Amino acid sequence: MILWTPKNSGTYNIKVKKSKFISYGRSIKDISDFKSWLSRIKKDHYSASHFCWAYQYYYLPNIESNESDSGEPSGSAGKPILKCLKQKKIVNCGIVVVRYYGGKKLGRKGLIDAYSESAQNVIDQLLLIEYIKKTKYQIYWPMILYPTLSKFLKMYSKCLILNKNDSNIILEVILNSNSEEKFIKDLSLLSENKAIMKKVI
């Protein structure tokens, strides 16, 4: 399954029965990044009545998603926004829809339509690129060869040392799917086939 992720950010405004809906969409680095962004939007629109949102984030090995109705009737805001992300198979992306209440109730169906339209319109503003899936590995490497390994891993930012002792070092590395084959081959050559590499499920 091909997944997509936004390269840019976007915004879109609509009015429904005097209520104003302002939708924002952008890529997110992680869940903490989304929460910080949401906080900034709330500060910018401190007088708005609702801040409804949804996100999808590819967190190995699954896609993590969440949504909020922000006080709107249950299932009338967050779920329609999330549905748009799921239908388009978009990950590492958040959408926030700010509502300024215009004095007229829209009803459950009206709200679902308004939030769906807001989410879809802001997605249309985004430049979507294919998301390159990642795989997590653990590497068991002889400590005597650590200086060689250290130089090699500088090319890979997603690397974490899990354990180290006199004989071995255990590392965790996250690789793009399109770089796995080369990484494994280079690692074998550097370690003279002494390193053990295991995929983490």
Domain shared by 145 and 121, yes or no: no
Domain shared by 92 and 161, yes or no: no
Residue 100: closest CA among 38, 32, 169, 18: 18
Among 130, 151, 177, give the residue marking a domain's end: 130
Structural domain harbouring 194: 134-199
Domain shared by 94 and 18, yes or no: yes
Domain shared by 112 and 152, yes or no: no
Domain shared by 101 and 9, yes or no: yes
**pLDDT number for residue 164:** 76
Domain shared by 81 and 107, yes or no: yes
Task: Convert the pLDDT of each residue in 8-54 to its tens digit.
Answer: 999 999 999 999 999 999 999 999 999 999 999 999 999 999 999 99
Task: Convert the pLDDT of each residue in 56-104 to its tens digit.
Answer: 998 777 899 999 999 999 999 999 999 999 999 999 999 999 999 999 9
User: SS3 breakdown of the chain: % helix, strand, coil, rounded to 5?
Assistant: 35, 40, 30
Instruction: Tell me the whole-structure pTM to 2 decimals.
Output: 0.78
How many structural domains does the chain have? 2
Answer with the residue of higher pLDDT: 113 or 176: 113
CATH code of the domain covering residue 181: 3.30.70.240
Domain shared by 111 and 141, yes or no: no
Residue 78: closest CA among 99, 62, 106: 99
DSSP of 106-150, one letter per residue? -HHHHHHHHHHHHHHHHHHTS-EEE---EEEEEEEEEGGGHHHHH
